[in-house]
Amino acid sequence: MSTPTRTPTGAPEHLTGPGSGGVGDDAQRPDGVLKVRGEFAYGSDLWMADMLWGVTLRSPHPYARIRSVDTSAALATPGVSAVLTSDDVPGEKVYGLELADQPVLALDVVRYQGEPVALVAADHPETARLAAGRIHVDYDVLEPVTDARTALGHPTWNQVHDSTAEVTELSRESAHLHPEGNLVRHLKVRTGDPAPTADVVVVGEYEVGMQDQAFLGPEAGLAVPAEDGGVELHVATQWLHVDQKQICAALALPPEQVRLTLAGVGGAFGGREDLSMHVHACLLALRTGRPVKMSYNREESFFGHVHRHPATMRYEHGATRDGELVYVKAAIYFDGGAYASSTPAVVGNGGTMGIGPYVVPNVHVDCYGAYTNNPPCGAMRGFGSVQTAFAYESQMDALAAELGMDPVELRCRNAMEEGSATPTGQVIDSPAPVAELLRRLEAMPLPAASGDGEVDLRDMPGGVSNTTHGEGVRRGVGYAVAYKNVAFSEGYDDHSTARVRLEVVGGEPTATVHTAAAEVGQGLVTVEQQIARTELGVERVVVHPKDTSVGSAGSTSASRQTYVTGGAVKAACEKVRAQVVARAERLVGRTVPDLRLAGGAVVSDSEDITVPLADLLGDDVLEETLEWRHRPTEAIDPETGQGFAHVQYAFSAHRAVVDVDTELGLVKVVEMACTQDVGKAINPQAVVGQIQGGTAQGLGLAVMEEILIKDGKVRNPSFTDYLIPTILDMPPMRIEVLEYADPHAPYGLRGVGEAPNISSGPAVLAAIRAATGLPLTRVPVRPEHITGT
Amino acid sequence: MRLTCTVNGTEQHVDDVWEGESLLYVLRERMGLPGSKNACEQGECGSCTVYLDGLPVCACLVAAGQAEGRQVGTVEGLADPEALHPVQQAFLDAGAVQCGFCTPGLLVATHDLIARHGRPSDAETREALAGNLCRCTGYEKILDAVRLAADRMAEPTAGGDR
């Protein structure tokens, strides 16, 4: 950790820092012991003696009309309790996060390979699978649309700089996927001179493949029918209340009859924002009157959640001879796949932040999200910003080369800082140390050159496959910087709810924190405890199970929970604390201005007052529940994109060092270095963990991770063929964490999780370009892109 | 079929096992031992790593019948109840646990690695753990945990049961 250069706001110093278990400490996670003992109950671990297993029959075709479905043979299979189709969905037959356009079970048309068509419940998962195979679906197979620009009627880049292109009309004419047309959203950013000119112009086209979240814990949960005719669902998810809302609509049940509890979540990364088995398990449980467990295997998981949008992008950068950016024009196409999911918000991010953390006076961006017959795409860590970062950072390198400038120098010269205006006209009103992040990376020592001393194959591209002893291996170094909005944007009422209780249990003052905020592995449960310890001065903090018996916490996404749910917990603690202090003042009979809570007591520094909470509270329970909101954002202008769209930005930068075997096209990432401003590290160890993990996912997209699609069909739905980085692929990392407080945020903190996932991949790509001298405009980079064979 | 094997030192008898079931399924769904994880069920991720007669294997790739009469060791058997093995403690202390789904398999694989190598070099650790996928940590803190556990286990005073 580097030395904080500004003091964070709001945190009482004496209750924070190392060893306190409070804010700023490397407090250990409360679920850690269970997890290392194998006793933590993930969604797929749930079990009841009389439970059934549910499985899903999915469409083999990316686009087809369903003529008929015959379930009789499946129903006749011994051990089968129920077979359901869309006819058995009692309520709304379509659902969705932002637009309800996705069938719970296929209606008359399937629009992607893997679309759920029918469900089976049986006494053994293999019986259920066998029976699902006996469901006869008669398909009329149709020609799929598998390219976003084709779907929108943009076969060429002609429309790129033509602001008058009537995209909606074009897509309506070819609207055979969705009745309203194939355009999900078109976002325009217009600022400055519409026809700018510049001394130096670089144009590039870029492509980003479809990435998978590849969380290890599969989609899973257990639905239990309740005596009141409702259902209890235990499920691994990211936002209990948005699930509940959609489940209620599908089941035609009120919220009080659909009660959700968070099961253990084995990673999420955006892939659990949309419903997967939620409604399906509830339908089967309500039909059979028995608990139903569903747990996808890995292949089904690839079909069972949305992916990161693939993108095609064209950028034009204009600059002065001495490296000042004059304008950026960009056309960004996101392939949203068959259903909307969170494509509108992904387009929002891609468009508003699509030129990177730079100050540019003239900006013209068109960002599109389209329906196709590819798998649905939605949320993944970095959310619309990962794709554009590959393009804008590649452009900055291309511009630097054209200008004969150092790439870091060019970036620093145009870097945003506090007080800068974004292309959407928002003045950044908290620290934005973009240049410093880059300069700090530059100052870090570089790793030793390969081939110094004896060759260790394990350090070579290709490793112990013994493909080179250094022949044809070239080193490259690349830099990238990125930014990302934190929390929900564009006027969304983004809030969280916290209930905090303080009482004496077994003689010990104990706080209980109850929120519905999903813990997905990132350590929010630890943060909740740390905040309560700091604010209430107690050691013992219980994190109540996450469920819908308390109000919504909003989604565990957009790097927002430490900020928003953390803010809610802090505010609820403050209300409880006010009650405690008032009691203490009643006890001493007067007002004492500096009363505070520490060490399980109410104390004063100026006077000799120590009132143990155990004495002060007795058998009383103090409880406060509140909703907490960050300051509001606003919708952007539909024609110009101008507006206060984002509440906070997170900034990170990476330097990648790679060795490339230029003869075989193999890449060995030698080292990753990262600098990130986190405002205030609530749990420094967890912050570093987020940076390391995010870096790995960005590296993965740069060099190996892609869902390969041909004619709308997924060709690699397994961990055999979809590769994620192993411990051999990941290099050592150097990390510097800066803490420049955001005065608007609780403790000055900044959301952490996504930024490092955005800047790492472009740095790796830049390093491979530096090593090879190739333009490399597509990720993931494959060996043949390097060898040209 | 009926399956009899020893799991974490206790003899287990399970009836009505379908021949197509894996050892992983039987552990998780029939023996009440869900600690070994079902991340890929195709031998790629290592989350279900268990000892079979002392050798680490992917339980998802072992047919249940192949475990007949053999010794199985899972994450649940690494330490006594109420205690943590130094490898488990090191994963906690190093911050190597995030979502934790890879953790049981990594613990067994690390336990085996340290038993064989004592204090493995980073290169040896990377080779030994290359079959265990983790999606959360980027592996840096897993390497920290292995070093920490190996150091602690090499020092008799700070050790614990090995």
**Tell me: the pLDDT tens digits for A422-444?**
999 999 999 999 999 999 999 99
Closest-CA residue in chain A for B133? Answer: A726
A129 lies in the same domain as A264: yes
Q: Do A693 and B123 touch (CB under 8 A)?
A: no
| Confidence bin at A285 (pLDDT 50/70/90) | very high
Average pLDDT in the A269-273 region?
98
Q: Which of A13, A32, A35, A34 is nearest to A24 (CA)?
A: A13
Does A26 sit within 8 Å of B101, measured CB to CB? no
Contacts of B80 in chain A (CB under 8 A): none
Kindly state whether residues A622 and A646 are assigned to the same domain.
Answer: no
What average pLDDT score do residues A129-156 get?
91
The most confident of the ranges A12-16, A157-161, A744-748 is A744-748
Residue B47 Cα distances to B30, B50, B56, B78, B129, angstroms? 19, 9, 11, 15, 11
Chain B residues in contact with A266 by the CB 8 A cut-off are 37, 39, 99-101
pLDDT band of residue A178 (cuts 50, 70, 90) is low
Q: Compute the 3-state secondary structure of chain B and give helix, strand, coil in percent, each to the nearest 5.
A: 40, 15, 45
Task: Look at residue A15 in the predicted model and tell me its pLDDT.
Answer: 53
With pLDDT > 70 as the criterion, what percentage of chain A qualifies? 94
Q: What value does the mean pLDDT take over residues A654-677?
A: 98
In this prediction, residue A724 has a pLDDT band, given cuts at 50, 70 and 90, of: very high
pLDDT of residue A105: 98
Give residue A176's pLDDT. Answer: 45
Q: B41: distance to nearest CA of chain A, Å?
A: 7
Cβ within 8 Å, pair A727-B130: yes
CA A282 to chain centre: 26
Of residues B33, B99, B131, nearest to A520 (C-beta): B99
Question: Closest Cα of chain B to A321: distance in Å?
Answer: 41
Tell me what pLDDT residue A180 has: 59
CATH number, position A96: 3.90.1170.50
CB spacing of A718 vs B40 below 8 angstroms = yes
Of all residues in chain A, what percent carry a pLDDT higher than 90? 91
Q: How far is CA A382 from CA A122, A379, A441, A487, in A?
A: 39, 8, 21, 12
Q: Quick check: is A367 in a domain?
A: no
ipTM of the complex: 0.97
A746-755 pLDDT, tens digit each: 999 999 999 9
Residue A556 is predicted with a pLDDT of: 98
Band the pLDDT of A714: cuts 50, 70, 90: very high
Sign of CA dihedral A156, A160, A163, A168: positive
Q: What number is the average pLDDT over the span A724-733?
A: 98
Q: What percent of chain B has pLDDT over 70?
A: 96
- At A449, which amino acid appears? A
Report pLDDT for A316.
95
State the average pLDDT for chain A.
Answer: 94
In chain B, what residues touch A689 (CB-CB under 8 Å)?
A: 95, 98, 136-138, 141
Interchain proximity B129–A267, CB inside 8 Å: no
CB atoms A218 and B39 under 8 Å: yes
Q: Residue A708 falls within a domain, yes or no? A: yes
B98, B141, B143 member nearest A522 (Cβ)? B98
Report pLDDT for A156. Answer: 58
Q: Are A697 and B139 in contact (CB under 8 A)?
A: no
Nearest by CB: B47 against A31, A216, A685 = A216
Q: How many CB atoms lie within 10 A of CB A715?
A: 11
Record: contact A33-B84, CB cut-off 8 A: yes
**Does residue A295 share a domain with residue A422?**
no
Residue pair A507/A478 in contact by the 8 Å Cβ criterion: no
In a domain? residue A693 = yes
Contact yes or no for B99 and A265 at CB 8 A: yes
Predicted confidence (pLDDT) at residue A11 exceeds the cutoff of 80: no
pLDDT bucket at A17, cuts 50 / 70 / 90? low
A371 belongs to a structural domain: no
Q: Is the pLDDT of residue A560 over 50?
A: yes
Q: Do residues A613 and A664 share a domain? A: no
Whether residue B135 and residue A215 make contact (CB cut-off 8 A), yes or no, is yes
Q: Name the CATH superfamily, with its identifier, for domain B3-77.
A: Beta-grasp domain (3.10.20.30)
Does the fold of domain B86-154 match that of domain B3-77?
no
Site from B78, B101, B137 to mutate, A interface, most A CB atoms within 10 angstroms: B101
A401-426: per-residue pLDDT in tens?
999 999 999 999 999 999 999 999 99
Segment A697-706, tens digit of pLDDT: 999 999 999 9
Give the residue from chain A lying closest to B79, CA to CA: A37
Decide which of A584, A608, A629 is a domain's last residue: A629
- Residue A168: pLDDT over 50: no
Q: Report the alpha-carbon angle A355-A356-A360, nearest 5.
A: 60
**Cα–Cα distance measured from residue A192 to residue B94, given in angstroms and rounded to the nearest whole number:** 50
Amino acid in position A415:
A
Count the residues in chain A.
Answer: 789
Contacts of A418 (CB under 8 A, 6+ apart): A428, A429, A430, A431, A432
**3-class SS letters over A547-604:** ECCCCCCCCCCCCCHHHHHHHHHHHHHHHHHHHHHHHHHHHHCCCCCCCEEECCEEEE
Strand partners, A677: A651, A738
Provide the pLDDT for residue A25: 97
CA-to-CA separations, B91 to A537, A608, A678, B97, in angstroms, rounded:
28, 43, 25, 6
Among A29, A33, A266, select the one facing B101 at the smallest CB separation. Answer: A266
**A644 and A770 inside one domain:** yes
pLDDT surpassing 80 at residue A177: no
Same domain, A576 and A468: no
CB proximity B146 to A under 8 Å = no
Answer whether residue A241 shows pLDDT above 50: yes
Q: A34, A36, A671: best mutation site toward chain B, by most B Cβ within 10 Å?
A: A36
Taking the Cβ of residue B83 and every Cβ of chain A, the question of whether any pair is shorter than 8 Å is answered with no
Same domain, A689 and A745: yes
Contact: A124, B127; criterion CB under 8 Å: no
CA distances from A772 to A462, A705, A759 (A): 17, 21, 20
Q: Determine whether the interchain pair B135/A727 forms a contact, defined as Cβ–Cβ distance below 8 Å.
A: no
The per-residue pLDDT for A151 is 87
Question: Closest-CA residue in chain A for B36?
Answer: A38
**What pLDDT is attached to residue B15?**
97
Q: Which DSSP letter does residue A20 get?
A: S
A656 by Cβ neighbours in 10 Å (0-12 / 13-18 / 19+) ranks as buried
Mapped to the 3 state alphabet, what secondary structure does A125-169 carry?
Answer: HHHHHHHHCCCEEEEEECCCCCCHHHHCCCCCHHHHHCCCCCHHH
Cβ neighbours of B126 in A, within 8 Å: 458, 727-728
CB contact under 8 A, A266 and B126: no
Residues of chain B with Cβ-Cβ distance to A41 below 8 Å are 34
Q: Which of B:21-60 have CB within 8 Å of A? A: 21, 28-29, 32-42, 44-45, 47
Domain boundary among the residues A629, A648, A678 is at A629
Which chain B residues are within 8 Å of A38, Cβ to Cβ? 33-36, 74-76, 104
Give residue-wise pLDDT tens across range A243-266. 999 999 999 999 999 999 999 999
Looking at the structure, do residues A241 and A277 belong to the same domain, yes or no? yes
Cis geometry, peptide bond prior to residue A780 (ω within 30 degrees of 0)? yes
Which residues in chain B touch residue A692, judged by CB atoms under 8 angstroms apart? 137-141
Total domain count, chain A? 3
Q: Which of A752, A735, A757 is nearest to A2 (CA)?
A: A735
Which CATH number does the domain housing residue A714 bear?
3.30.365.10
Q: Is B63 on the interface with A (CB under 8 A)?
A: no
Q: Are A615 and A680 found together in one domain?
A: no
Same domain membership, residue A80 and residue A227: yes
- For chain B, the average pLDDT equals 95
C-alpha distance from B69 to closest chain A C-alpha (Å): 24
Domain boundary among A277, A304, A331: A304
Give the pLDDT confidence of A603-640 residue by residue, as tens digits.
Answer: 999 999 999 999 999 999 999 999 999 999 999 999 99
Q: Which of A36, A45, A692 faces B140 most closely, judged by CB atoms?
A: A692
- Which chain A residues are within 8 Å of B32, Cβ to Cβ? 47
Residue A10, pLDDT above cutoff 60: no
pLDDT at res. B161: 46
Taking an 8 Å cut-off on Cβ atoms, the answer to whether A523 and B98 are in contact is: yes
Q: What is the pLDDT of residue A18?
A: 66
Structure tokens that stand for A112 in this block? 């992607």
Q: Do A126 and B138 touch (CB under 8 A)?
A: no
Range of the domain at A669: 415-489+636-787
Q: What residues contact A517, with CB distance under 8 A and at least 6 apart?
A: A496, A524, A528, A546, A553, A554, A556, A561, A565
| Averaged pLDDT, A490-518 | 97
Q: Is A724 in contact with B133 (Cβ distance < 8 A)?
A: yes
Query: How many Cβ pairs closer than 8 A exist between chain A and B?
Result: 178
Domain B86-154 listed as CATH 1.10.150.120: yes
Check CB contact under 8 Å for B44 and A28: no
Nearest-Cα distance to chain A for B71, in Å, is: 19
Q: Which stretches in chain B have pLDDT values below 70?
A: 156-162
Chain B residue numbers with beta carbons less than 8 Å from the beta carbon of A681 are none
What distance in Å separates residue B87's CA from the closest CA in chain A? 9
Beta carbons within 10 angstroms of residue A668's beta carbon: 23
- A728–B99 C-beta distance less than 8 A: no
Q: Do B75 and A124 touch (CB under 8 A)?
A: no
Quote the pLDDT of residue B162.
Answer: 42
Q: Domain ranges in chain B?
A: 3-77, 86-154
Write out the two tokens for B156: 């008799």
Residues of A in contact with B131 (CB under 8 A): 726
- Answer whether A36 sits within 8 Å of B84, measured CB to CB: yes
pLDDT tier at A179, thresholds 50, 70, 90: low
Structure tokens at B68: 């007949």
Å between B148 CA and nearest CA of chain A: 15
Question: Using 50, 70 and 90 to split pLDDT, how confident is the model at A451?
Answer: low
